[in-house]
Chains A and B, each alone.
Chain A
Amino acid sequence: MWPLSRPKAEEILRIGRHAVERWKAVDGSLAQVSAHALLQDTSPHPQRLAEAVSTLYASAPALPITLVLESAWVPVMLVDTGAALLRSAQVDALVRHRFGLHHSDSLDPVGAWDLRIEYRAGSRCALAYGMPPGLKQTLIDAGRAAGLEWVAMTPALAWGMERLRIAKRWPRTPGWFLWPEQDRTLVARVAANEVVGFNPGAASASDETTLKRLVDAECARLGIDSTTDPIAAARWYSVLRAARAGDRFAWLDLSEQGSPLATPAKPTPPARVSA
Chain B
Amino acid sequence: MNGRTVDFLRPPQPPRVGWVLLALGFVALAIALWCEQRWAAERATAEHAEQQARTEQQARQAPPPPLEPTLTQRRWLQAQNELQRPWLPALRAIESATVNPVFLLSMTIEPSKGLIKLDAEAPSFDHALAYVQVLDIGGVLEPAVLVSHEQVPNLPAGAGAVKFSAVTHWVAP
Contacts and interface: CB of A to CB of B under 8 A. Distances in A.
Interface of A: 1-3, 74, 114, 116, 118, 120, 127, 129, 131, 136, 150-155, 158-159, 161-162, 166-167, 190, 193-195
A158 B6 contact: yes
B158 interface: no
B149 to A, nearest CB: 101
23 contacts: A1-B10, A2-B16, A114-B8, A116-B7, A116-B8, A116-B12, A120-B2, A129-B8, A136-B8, A152-B10, A153-B7, A153-B8, A154-B5, A154-B6, A154-B7, A158-B5, A158-B6, A159-B6, A161-B1, A190-B1, A193-B1, A194-B1, A195-B1
Interface of B: 1-3, 5-10, 12, 16
A18 to B, nearest CB: 22
B5 A162 contact: yes
A118 B16 contact: no
Contacts of B2: 118, 120
B46 to A, nearest CB: 47
A198 to B, nearest CB: 12
Nearest to A129: B6
A131 B6 CA distance: 11
Contacts of B3: 167
A166 B1 contact: yes
Q: Which of B1, B9, B12, B16 has the most CB of A within 10 A?
A: B1
A129 to B, nearest CB: 6
A151 B7 CA distance: 9
A3 B3 CA distance: 12
A159 B10 CA distance: 15
Contacts of B16: 2-3
A129 B8 CA distance: 9
A191 B10 CA distance: 28
Contacts of A166: 1
A118 B1 contact: yes
B9 A152 contact: yes
A162 B7 CA distance: 12
Given A116-B12, A158-B6, A193-B1, 15 more contacts: A2-B16, A114-B8, A118-B1, A127-B1, A129-B8, A150-B9, A151-B9, A152-B5, A154-B6, A154-B7, A154-B8, A155-B6, A166-B1, A167-B3, A195-B1
Nearest to B3: A167
A132 to B, nearest CB: 10
Contacts of B12: 116
A217 to B, nearest CB: 23
A184 B60 CA distance: 97
B9 A116 contact: no
Contacts of A2: 16
A118 B7 CA distance: 12
A32 B9 CA distance: 24
A129 B4 CA distance: 14
Given A2-B16, A3-B16, A167 B1 contact: yes
A152 B7 contact: yes
A118 B1 CA distance: 7
Nearest to B15: A3
Given A2-B16, A161-B1, A195-B1, A118 B6 contact: yes
A186 B139 CA distance: 121
Contacts of B1: 118, 127, 161, 166-167, 190, 193-195
Contacts of A162: 5
A169 to B, nearest CB: 11
A126 to B, nearest CB: 11
B17 to A, nearest CB: 9
A136 B11 CA distance: 13
B8 A131 contact: yes
A152 B11 CA distance: 11
B123 to A, nearest CB: 112
Contacts of B10: 1, 152
A243 B6 CA distance: 32
